[in-house]
Amino acid sequence: MKTIGLLGGMSWESTAEYYRLLNEQIAKKLGGFHSARCIIYSVDFDLIVNLMHTDNWSEITDILTKIAKQIEKIGADCLLICTNTIHKIVPQMEQHLSIPIIHIVDATALKIQELGIKKVGLLGTKITMEDGFFSERLESKFNIKTIIPESSERKQINQIIFEELVRGIIRPESRRIFQKIINNMHENGAQGVILGCTEIPLLIGPSDVFIPIFDTTRLHVEYAIDLIINQSA
């Protein structure tokens, strides 16, 4: 079996979910007592958040690239970055690695295409929704268009992510806010919605909405497992 490197801690809540899903899916596919061969590096998220708030992406890139190189040196065959937002700097990180970074947008896009959907809503941190790295890759590589919530709604989403979800706080009133925002995006033409923050699936599941949702955490893990099993065969 190939060895997967997990670059996590952003937040540890979602990284724990990555680890759980990875091992559950490996056991399901391979049977017996199989579990995932993986290397986990969990960062101190406080440092990364502070750099995000000052828009210091060059230092974030330097820090995470050094960690990714350590993961590669230890023996990882590929890398999963356990967060959507950090995929903003994947092009810069790839230049310094010999192993592939399995991209969360690609994993999500393939599932959207499978359902024949052409336009989706995108939920995530303000950076993920507004920066363009996610939506531009979806459109240029997969011809999938995205819409994002209104400015006030984006502020609410970002606040819930950083003040509640990354701390493991799940509130019914926050779920209702997300449901209302998803309904608004559906009325504006979204045929489905991307849960483009790895903590959002802790709050919202398929039974909470009436249109297809795309859980980037689960899709990222499933895509990675298919790749490593096929390459190992």
- Which are the catalytic amino acids? 83, 197
Largest Cα–Cα separation, the chain? 50
Report the distance separating Cα 88 and Cα 167, nearest Å. Answer: 23
Q: Which residues pair with 146 in a beta bridge?
A: 120
Tell me how long the chain is: 233
Residue 149 has φ and ψ, to the nearest 5°, of -65, 170
**E strands in 83-212:** 119-123, 145-147, 192-195
Return all residues near 232 (Cβ < 8 A) that are at least 6 apart: 1, 2
Report the distance separating Cα 233 and Cα 231, nearest Å. Answer: 6
Report the distance separating Cα 226 and Cα 106, nearest Å. Answer: 13
